[in-house]
Copies of this chain bind each other. A is one copy, B any other.
Amino acid sequence: MSIRDRLNFLFETVRPVGKPRYSVREVAEAIKRDQGFDISAAYINYICTGERENPGVQQIRALARFFGVPAAFLLDDGDQSHVTRELDQLRAAVEVTEKLRAADDAMDDPCVRVIALKARGLSPSHLKLVSTMLDQVREIEGLP
């Protein structure tokens, strides 16, 4: 599980509203705009393709902050059980954001990311609770 794999995982799971995934240019521009940190779109692509294996910590932090996950996600520190547990939490958080996103198409990307960040710290049982609550809300409002 390399940095390349983790970043691709983030690209595939944390998605903007209308599109299947963020573009590398979008990410680079958002990081520049929101964090004031310069990172080129080409370089993000380099990491995704595995052409750069040892990026600086500042680049990692910027990417992690954009996707709303702690920077430790992009670092495989060898503690695999811990890592996979975190990834499960991320999956759960993404699942919640998917529901939130479906519930309100007008919600823009930053909000989704913030909610993903807030949901991530929750225990799996609480995430499931929120998920169930959202299902009920959607049923009340007559949504699929």
Contacts and interface: CB of A to CB of B under 8 A. Distances in A.
Interface in A46-86: 53-61, 64-65, 70-72, 74-79, 82
A3 interface: yes
Contact of A65 (B54, B57, B77): B77
Given A64-B77, A78-B65, A3 B71 contact: no
A54 B54 contact: no
Q: Which of A64, A70, A76 has the most CB of B within 10 A?
A: A70
A88 to B, nearest CB: 17
A76 B60 CA distance: 11
A75 B71 contact: yes
Interface residues of A, number: 22
A57 B54 contact: yes
A79 B58 CA distance: 14
Interface in A29-58: 53-58
Contacts of A53: 58
A75 B72 contact: yes
Given A54-B58, A71-B75, 13 more contacts: A54-B57, A55-B56, A55-B57, A57-B57, A57-B60, A57-B74, A61-B78, A70-B72, A70-B79, A70-B82, A71-B72, A71-B77, A72-B77
